Structure 1
């Protein structure tokens, strides 16, 4: 297996991708991720809003252990959750296109596409930015699932079918390279949002954006001193739920995100139906070198069976109505302890 993965018309070196974050906000960051072996790298998002760029000035990061201890940036450990505030890249579009072009050129020589990303504010402006990006990168991500959209008007999180369809259709009309649409997990029916994005022209759908988060410190304040965006290993089953449900319902290539830290996590995303998996927090904790181990582990496990493995978990997954009674009842040992038996 050479590891190549095709997603929505884009061929990538392998299914382990780097998601958009401050780690992919510079030419050096993009190149470091490419050189560490990523299958593809999604650059930090931009949009037309000066307020979204100013929001980066208040960016902050709290890493939270499984027992609730808060660690500052630089002291995180594997398994920690991440609560943060963030903003968009603080650079003019022309300068950003130069950075993207440099990263894309470096990646192309190594089979690793560098993907431009737009976090939605105004759909018309996103279309104009997407058209410019398509001149220098092989694919564009439209992020309409940013959790910060619930806190800052400079970005938007879309959770209604019609709004998703209209935004994607507007950007699709302007972009002549593969268009990937990243959706929120915080919606009543994410499958319906994916269907709307696909019908409006999305070549692939990313599932799912991080969740809103809040962590009081019990001393009259809260971690970060504000609301934030949350990701942790505990988010993994929630993200996999929507990946599996969407894979079962729609014919659309899927990109998994939110919760993958280990080789097993990546494989679970693939088994649920994703064709590629974005990682971010693992790189905050361990640096780009984390990618080398992830790629090697996924390749070793899959051997030559990557295509067959995608969605394989769905073959024996049943709806509640089709699950036979559990005998003896699974709850019996728990209630027996309370009854003294």
Structure 2
């Protein structure tokens, strides 16, 4: 059974992409990922806010001890950004030399004015594509909803004028009109949209009286949100769609493809089951295809999307229903 696919114009031998995480931050790990059968890998993100925060700390420390004015920090700015970025560019170059599967760079977006400088150098380093992990917390009481949403389009517009490699957006489902937003983003000229990104989840330690992380890994039940929206948006966008969060096994992959996905991203399950588990996923997909008489992914992609389903209204219903005999 042929499980190859295309995503953002890239040829993938498997629909399974290892998402941005600690498993994709070194060439040795990427080689193991490729050997296990992944179609592609998204490199561990470079975080723009991490660079900004470090820069602010340096300004604070140095200015307090030396009395330098702000104009004298230009050199430090270049050095700090260079140190972080050069390490990332080096990872891209080594990854491209070490593996044959597509290597997708990833940038975690905070400020729109930073993107073109990062993206240009990432493209020149040889990345096959660039994934922007984008989410602006809708808790800014000083900005209107429209202002926050405009940032997404400003970033995309600037990037597409700067680089020619494919660009995908990894977005959240926190939009007041999600369907319309996904469709509008797909019409900007980007090559893909990933549904959806996963966030840090805070919890409260009632003994220590402090905030702590919780639910670090996704669970199979998290598949429901992206599955619904994958099915709704399939055949209604002008770019490829990939699924993320809650895809833990071959069944999760198959469901997302039936809903219309070109590819899926896995992370949490690989931490739990280790990288070689990818071989099991690929084999289980092939076995399922053989059982159901499908020779390629295209034979069943979108078969149960809202556009193709016998009962499309099921994807619109949110309330629980009770049936009586």
User: Same-fold call, TM > 0.5?
Assistant: yes
Partner of 2:268: 281
The equivalent position to 1:137 in structure 2, one of 102, 127, 140, is: 127
The equivalent position to 1:127 in structure 2, one of 92, 116, 120, is: 116
Partner of 1:307: 298
3-state DSSP of counterpart to 1:134: helix
Partner of 1:58: none
Give 1:242-281 correspondences, 5 Å limit: 242-281=229-268
Q: Please give the per-residue CA displacement for 1:275-334, whole angstroms capped at 9, x wherever unaligned.
A: 1000000111111111111112123323513112111112223226999xxxxx94337x
The whole-number CA distance in structure 1 between the counterparts of 2:224 and 2:247 is 10
Bigger-Rg structure (1/2): 2
The whole-number CA distance in structure 2 between the counterparts of 1:125 and 1:39 is 30
Structure showing the higher helix proportion among its residues: 2
The whole-number CA distance in structure 1 between the counterparts of 2:134 and 2:279 is 30
The equivalent position to 2:198 in structure 1, one of 202, 207, 210, is: 210
Matched, 1:118 2:118: no
3-state DSSP of counterpart to 1:237: helix
1:121 deviation in Å? 2.0
Give the 3 Å change call, closer, same or farther, for CA 3–106 of structure 1 in structure 2: farther
Matched, 1:105 2:97: yes
3-state DSSP of counterpart to 1:249: coil
Give the 3 Å change call, closer, same or farther, for CA 161–106 of structure 1 in structure 2: same
The whole-number CA distance in structure 2 between the counterparts of 1:116 and 1:305 is 28
Partner of 1:290: 277
Give the 3 Å change call, closer, same or farther, for CA 167–250 of structure 1 in structure 2: same
The whole-number CA distance in structure 2 between the counterparts of 1:203 and 1:13 is 19
Q: Indicate conservation of the 8 Å contact 1:165/1:196, yes or no.
A: no
Structure 1, unmatched stretches of 5+, are: 55-89, 152-157, 324-328, 334-341
Q: Which is worse superposed, 21-30 or 158-167?
A: 158-167
Structure 2, unmatched stretches of 5+, are: 55-81, 140-145
- With structure 2 as the length reference, what TM-score do the two structures score? 0.77
Give the 3 Å change call, closer, same or farther, for CA 227–305 of structure 1 in structure 2: closer
Partner of 1:94: 86
The whole-number CA distance in structure 1 between the counterparts of 2:279 and 2:44 is 21
Give the 3 Å change call, closer, same or farther, for CA 210–50 of structure 1 in structure 2: closer
Give the 3 Å change call, closer, same or farther, for CA 118–49 of structure 1 in structure 2: same
1:227 deviation in Å? 7.1
1:46 deviation in Å? 0.9
Partner of 1:41: 41
**What value does the CA root-mean-square deviation take over the aligned residues?**
3.2
- With structure 1 as the length reference, what TM-score do the two structures score? 0.73
Give the 3 Å change call, closer, same or farther, for CA 213–125 of structure 1 in structure 2: same
Give the 3 Å change call, closer, same or farther, for CA 279–221 of structure 1 in structure 2: farther
The whole-number CA distance in structure 2 between the counterparts of 1:25 and 1:206 is 20
The equivalent position to 1:189 in structure 2, one of 162, 173, 177, is: 177
The whole-number CA distance in structure 2 between the counterparts of 1:41 and 1:320 is 33
Partner of 2:168: 180
